[in-house]
Structure 1
């Protein structure tokens, strides 16, 4: 088994109690985070394959009057993501990977440079901020110029996803922050 398979299995094996405690700690860190409090446009993902449950985060962000955006696979450039505004009334459909995403409506698309924060999914991560994703490179492409775009990427994960050191490639993006418990 490779590291991606091992860590995904570890994540899925968390007991409901372990998962609940860790998620409560993560939710509190998000509530206490200054940059999140000041942000207006926040991109996040819908949970998949044992990831942190993001619905409570989304509901919290709505309560804080934040605009929430979800990624969809770009219909014309399938190696890139678009971000669509997500509201309680958004229709969700499954993409080719079986992940729920909002239906494409061009009126709901935000240029990624207008996002303040991009919560970034990860399979594994290390102390240096390197992450291992699902292998498509979507977030590495999206965040290639995050400093110039003035976007704050924040990884979300469980402590069991942390590894000593990932072998990284030149195109891999180091996340400045990872919230985990």
Structure 2
């Protein structure tokens, strides 16, 4: 089996589904996913959370990110450093003032709020993806940012993938570079 070819087939199929999903349905499914996440004990007890800032076709994490900030939890979001080809976790306090549009059109931390963050402080990392399977294998967009980042997490830090129902496959092809998540939460 050609893993690269299989991954591209899955990406193509999921991108088609994502494009065809209405905004209303995406919102409803995102709300269901966030509701399930809220009820998880790992989420309830987490005081330092890493959220991704959703692309237009991803599960929208913004309502829960804002809720976490209002509750006094610490919120961390990714910054993609093109110079080092790495994902850098950055703590934010106010999305309105701490974020700006990045090179992929997705909000990311402004340069003046970027400072080192101790990964040992994290409790839970929320991870986007194109596809997942029931074992937590993940297929991203192909750049490897989350794969490299997830492999650096201390053992106590949990990682949850968030996905729409059609993003769950019986088996996601993987290679040595791919990292898995601890759990996947969907609208089903």
Work out whether the TM-score is over 0.5. yes
1:70 aligns with 2:80: no
- The separation in 1 between residues aligned to 2:38 and 2:117, in whole angstroms, is 24
SS across alignment from 1:90: helix
- The separation in 1 between residues aligned to 2:146 and 2:171, in whole angstroms, is 19
1:93 aligns with 2:100: yes
Counterpart for residue 18 of structure 1: 25
Pairing partner for 1:82 from 85, 88, 93? 88
SS across alignment from 2:97: coil
Counterpart for residue 163 of structure 1: 169
Pairing partner for 1:60 from 23, 48, 67? 67
- The separation in 2 between residues aligned to 1:158 and 1:37, in whole angstroms, is 22
Contact 2:134–2:184 (Cα < 8 Å) also in 1: no
The structure that is helix-richer by fraction is: 2
State TM-score, norm by structure 1: 0.88
Counterpart for residue 172 of structure 1: 178
Gaps of 5+ in 1: none
Gaps of 5+ in 2: 1-7
Counterpart for residue 44 of structure 1: 51
- May I ask how many residue pairs the two structures share in their alignment? 179
Contact 1:84–1:105 (Cα < 8 Å) also in 2: no
- The separation in 1 between residues aligned to 2:77 and 2:33, in whole angstroms, is 19
**Aligned counterparts, 1:120-135, within 5 A:** 120-135=127-142
Counterpart for residue 110 of structure 2: 103
Give the CA deviation at 1:76: 4.7
- The separation in 1 between residues aligned to 2:114 and 2:11, in whole angstroms, is 36
Counterpart for residue 144 of structure 1: 151
State TM-score, norm by structure 2: 0.85
